[in-house]
């Protein structure tokens, strides 16, 4: 369930977007999300098992952050340079807010939330990037890949 103050955040993004451009608005929103995620990362840094490949470590970090169980996560494709997976959003608040406010759920996720995951990867020097590819009925299809030249 999304609270009024959460809708207000999206409404604020739209207002900023009208005045300064939507990319600036998404960047501001992403900065607030990133601050929360990077604080979390600092708190759990000693608990992370970063003993695999960068891709394994990135996927492990992703699953740990979102607390994904096997019934809410499925690997669709895996190669040495990328992994594509499905993730169930049990709350589905982002998609709901985007629908109500007429925002593109893929664009919002990539410019706000995937960007913050990429900052987490950078903080751990993993040389990875996360991208949301699709959304349907509560399920996101995403890809984590190794940066070219890494």
Please give the pLDDT value at position 145.
Answer: 97
6/14: higher pLDDT = 14
Please give the pLDDT value at position 149.
Answer: 64
What average pLDDT does range 53-69 have in this prediction?
95
What average pLDDT does range 87-106 have in this prediction?
89
Q: Which of 11-20, 81-90, 96-105 has the highest mean pLDDT?
A: 81-90
Residue 63's pLDDT band, with cuts at 50, 70 and 90, is very high
For the chain, report the end-to-end CA distance as a whole number of angstroms. Answer: 40
Q: Is the pLDDT of residue 2 over 80?
A: no
Percent of the chain with pLDDT over 90: 67
Residue 3's pLDDT band, with cuts at 50, 70 and 90, is low
């Amino acid at each position: 369930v999304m609270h009024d103050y959460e809708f207000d955040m999206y409404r604020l993004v739209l207002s900023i977007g009208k005045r300064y451009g939507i990319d600036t608005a998404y960047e501001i929103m992403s900065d607030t999300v990133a601050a929360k995620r990077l604080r979390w990362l600092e708190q759990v840094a000693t608990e992370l098992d970063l003993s695999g490949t960068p891709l394994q470590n990135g996927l492990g970090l992703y699953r740990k952050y979102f607390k994904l169980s096997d019934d809410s996560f499925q690997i669709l494709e895996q190669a040495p340079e990328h992994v594509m997976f499905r993730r169930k959003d049990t709350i589905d608040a982002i998609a709901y807010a985007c629908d109500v406010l007429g925002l593109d759920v893929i664009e919002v996720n990539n410019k706000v939330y995937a960007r913050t995951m990429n900052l987490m990867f950078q903080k751990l020097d993993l040389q990875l990037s996360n991208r949301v590819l699709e959304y349907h009925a509560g399920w996101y299809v995403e890809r984590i890949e190794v940066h070219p030249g890494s």
